[in-house]
Amino acid sequence: MSVNEVYPIIWIDDHVRLIDQNRLPETYTLVDIRYVHDMAEAIRTMIVRGAPAIGVAAAYGMYLGARDIQTTDPATFLQQLEAIAQLLRGTRPTAVNLFWAVARMLKTAHETPGSVPTRKLALLEAAKVINTEDIQTCKAIGDHGLNALLNYSSPLRILTHCNAGALATAGYGTSLGVVRSVWRAGRLAMVYADETRPRFQGAKLTTWECIQEGIPVTLITDSMAAHCMQRGLIDVVIVGADRIAANGDTANKIGTYGLALVAKAHDIPFYVAAPLSTIDFNLVDGSQIPIEERQASEVYQLGSITLCPQGVKFYNPAFDVTPAPLITGIITEYGVYQPDGLKSLSGQQK
Ligand code: MRU
């Protein structure tokens, strides 16, 4: 691995190795995962996070679970695999890549003819393909994003939210992948990273990735984004996505909707960068997207410090939905689409 290539999920011999994203940027710690229960826990506790990365992790989780099934009867094997799929589906509700990857793995298990060992092998191969494809997909998103952004005068000052970088995918990133491509093309002046309360993925992960590669990065608190736009510091906003409905409504990290509204008010283009695996063609619009609510301590606890008095109530939705009319374009591996043009891609989804 060169210093600027970050791969948060890799398969080594007989197990998965994850970068522990809860420990960055203080320590670069690797965690080896050998059992599906440990993978489910890693997704739930956000050792691995970011929609595409969750999908890849779940695909390997399906294999790890399948590997431990003790039967030679294909029908029993498929039945027990469904329980493993259920375990993984129960980890996080919003990122549709999780459900997409689990469904793709189940399809492989069902459609591979022959013995249980043959099906297990096919599952490992399928997980590796999902892993490799995701990196290629992100690079294609980067290329299409760069082309789209060349329409604006550069060097560009780009605002991003949360972490939709290499860490949130199998490598390279979606919105941060576009930033990377713009940077490598010599057209980036600055990336402004929102800190992204309450879990600080922007402060901890996006800035870490930028520093690894020498990408100029300025960290701001979430509440500074509107001011930065008003002061003319931002040319374009690019964010990732956890689930995009068929009409283009987009669920992403909490705070994204507010950014889109402010960008609209200042006539600043607002792009979403995401692979096809993040589009949920079954959902007509964003009102049907399940929004994960996480534990209250994420809101009131900062390390060992409690931020408020006893007796306060809490609300901690992890994502919000940006309505399609606020989105300038959705950058996919197939090109840049208007939100209402996404439906034309439904036949391409694997
Ligand atoms: O809660 P997280 O950290 O999993 O949320 C991540 C995001 O919201 C990302 O922006 C999104 O998954 C896109 S990742 C390429």
Closest to 57 (Cα-Cα) out of 26, 11, 21, 103: 11
What is the set of domains in the chain, with CATH numbers?
3-136 (1.20.120.420), 144-348 (3.40.50.10470)
Mutate to test the pocket of ligand 1, among 242, 270, 320 (most ligand atoms within 8 A of CB): 242
* pLDDT for 292: 98
CA of 289 to the centre of ligand 1 (A): 15
Question: Which atom number of ligand 1 is nearest to the Cα of residue 292?
Answer: 1
User: Does residue 320 carry a catalytic annotation?
Assistant: no
How many of the other CB atoms lie within 10 Å of CB of 237?
26
**Residues near ligand 1 with C-beta < 6 Å?**
49-52, 95, 162, 164, 168-169, 174, 201, 240-242, 252-253, 318
pLDDT at 2: 45
Alpha-carbon span 175 to 271, nearest angstrom: 9
Instruction: From 92, 88, 93, 90, select the one nearest 105 (Cα to Cα).
Output: 88
User: What pLDDT does 3 receive?
Assistant: 43
Show the low-confidence residues of the chain (pLDDT under 70): 1-4
What atom of ligand 1 comes closest to residue 273's alpha carbon? 15
Query: What is the number of the ligand 1 atom nearest to the C-alpha of 176?
Result: 15
pLDDT on residue 154: 80
Cα(164) to ligand 1 centroid in Å equals 6
Query: Cα(51) to centroid of ligand 1, in Å?
Result: 5
32-79 pLDDT tens trace = 999 999 999 999 999 999 999 999 999 999 999 999 999 999 999 999
Q: How far is the CA of 94 from the centre of ligand 1 (A)?
A: 10
Q: Which of 19, 46, 163 to mutate to test the pocket of ligand 1 (most atoms within 8 A of CB)?
A: 163
Angle between helices 74-89 and 36-44 (to 10 degrees): 20
pLDDT of residue 153: 86
Residues present in the chain in total? 350
Check residue 302 and give its pLDDT.
95
Distance from Cα 116 to the centre of ligand 1, integer Å:
35
Residue 210 contacts residue 4 (beta carbons within 8 Å):
no
303-319 residue pLDDT tens = 999 999 999 999 999 99
CA-closest candidate to residue 237, choices 195, 191, 197: 191
**Nearest residue (CA) to ligand 1, atom 10:** 240
Q: Torsions phi, psi of 173, nearest 5?
A: 100, 165
Q: Tokens 């490992």 — which residue?
A: 124
Q: Which of 134, 242, 249, 320 is catalytic?
A: 242
Q: How far apart are the first and last CA of the chain?
A: 29
pLDDT value of position 187: 97
Q: How many CA atoms lie within 13 A of 340 on its CB side?
A: 2
